[in-house]
Amino acid sequence: MARLRDPEGGCPWDIVQTYETIAPYTIEEAYEVADAIARGDIEDLRDELGDLLLQVVFHARMAEEEDAFDFGSVVEAICTKMIRRHPHVFGAGAAHDPATVKANWAAIKAQEKAERRERRVARGLPDDTGAGLLDSVSKGLPPLLRALELQRKAATVGFDWNDPRAVLDKIAEECAEVVEASEDGSNHDALADEVGDLFFVLVNLARHLKVDPEAALGRANAKFVRRFASMEEALRQNGEIPQEKTLNELEALWVAAKEAERR
């Protein structure tokens, strides 16, 4: 990476990259790792982990160029953190079940956050960590995951529904508001807000049903791709393409693909 970033003989693309331009690739590579796991492809997992590691190396190299930190510092920091958060393994602490480990982890993490805040203030930086309950939820999370974490945090102080059926009622209410906003059609921002509210409540339903919304949506995506491919194959066997068919004809093929999966 040092050679790729070398202004005198490196890669023109790599040289001009910044933390901001590389960040989307970092997120994308993390999803590629998750995808390889979901597909059970261990060889792809090896390759995708390498791609993700490259992102860490890339960011670390840019920081090293600024004399901020280097790759070794990144490794040292995570090693220190893991030792500190596992006193039952590396220290004198004790934990005999996963629940205790999770509770200890949260307490140590909260202590680390307070220490980071003190260091920021000592360096003359603004204390932007926030004191509110939801301020601890990272703004860098994908929106679906952030919605889930925001709801989990709010639930810890009792701001939550007690019954999934109440969430279903809320979904019906939000659907009605989407319909109303779409029929009005005069305010696209208002319509986007209502659709966002509907997404948020759907995540809440998944949480109450103990369903991972990210994984559930991933399964739905995979199902859609699978059935659409089946529909295309049925057309291909007759020398046809989707563009030549009516919506009703495509829907019939879709239903056939769906029924074939159930058999």
Residue 77 domain-assigned (yes or no): no
Q: How many percent of the chain have pLDDT more than 90? A: 71
pLDDT band per the 50, 70, 90 thresholds, residue 72 = very high
Q: Tell me, yes or no, whether 250 lies in a domain.
A: yes
- For the cut 90, the answer to whether the pLDDT of residue 91 exceeds it is no
Q: How many domains does the chain have?
A: 1
Q: Has residue 245 been placed in a domain?
A: yes
Residue 228 scores a pLDDT above 90: yes
- Is residue 219 situated within a structural domain? yes
- Cβ atoms 224, 217 nearer than 8 A: no
What mean pLDDT comes out for the span 103-123?
A: 84
**Given pLDDT bands bounded at 50, 70 and 90, which one contains residue 58?**
very high
Q: Report yes or no: 149 and 141 within 8 Å, Cβ to Cβ.
A: yes
**Taking a C-beta distance cutoff of 8 angstroms, is the pair 93, 104 a contact?**
yes
Q: Classify residue 92: in a domain, yes or no.
A: no
Name, in order, each residue with C-beta under 8 angstroms of 164's C-beta and a sequence gap of 6 or more. 205, 208, 209
What is the C-alpha separation between 121 and 72, in angstroms, rounded?
26
- The band of 123, judged by pLDDT with boundaries at 50, 70 and 90, is confident
pLDDT at residue number 192? 95
Residue 106 has pLDDT above 90, yes or no: no
Q: Would the pTM of this model clear 0.75, i.e. be above it?
A: no
Question: Would you say 48 and 36 are in contact if contact means Cβ atoms under 8 Å apart?
Answer: yes
* Three-class DSSP category at 172: helix
Q: Average pLDDT for residues 85-110, to the nearest whole number?
A: 87
Among 85-89, 122-126, 203-207, the range with the most confident prediction by mean pLDDT is 203-207
Q: Which domain holds residue 225?
A: 215-262
Structure confidence at residue 114 (pLDDT): 82
> How high is the mean pLDDT of the chain?
92
Q: Is residue 258 part of a domain?
A: yes
pLDDT band at 128 (very low <50, low <70, confident <90, very high): low
Q: How confident is the model at residue 139 (pLDDT cuts 50, 70, 90)?
A: confident
pLDDT higher than threshold 80 for residue 126: no
Q: CA separation (Å) from 139 to 148, 189, 203?
A: 12, 21, 17
Whole-angstrom distance between the N-terminal and C-terminal Cα of the chain? 52
197 Cβ neighbours under 8 A, 6+ residues apart: 174, 177
**Within a domain: 79:** no
Of 153, 145, 150, whose CA–CA distance to 214 is shortest? Answer: 145
Instruction: Categorize the per-residue pLDDT at 109 as very low, low, confident or very high, splitting at 50, 70 and 90.
Output: confident
For residue 68, being part of any structural domain is answered with no
Task: Supply the pLDDT for residue 137.
Answer: 86
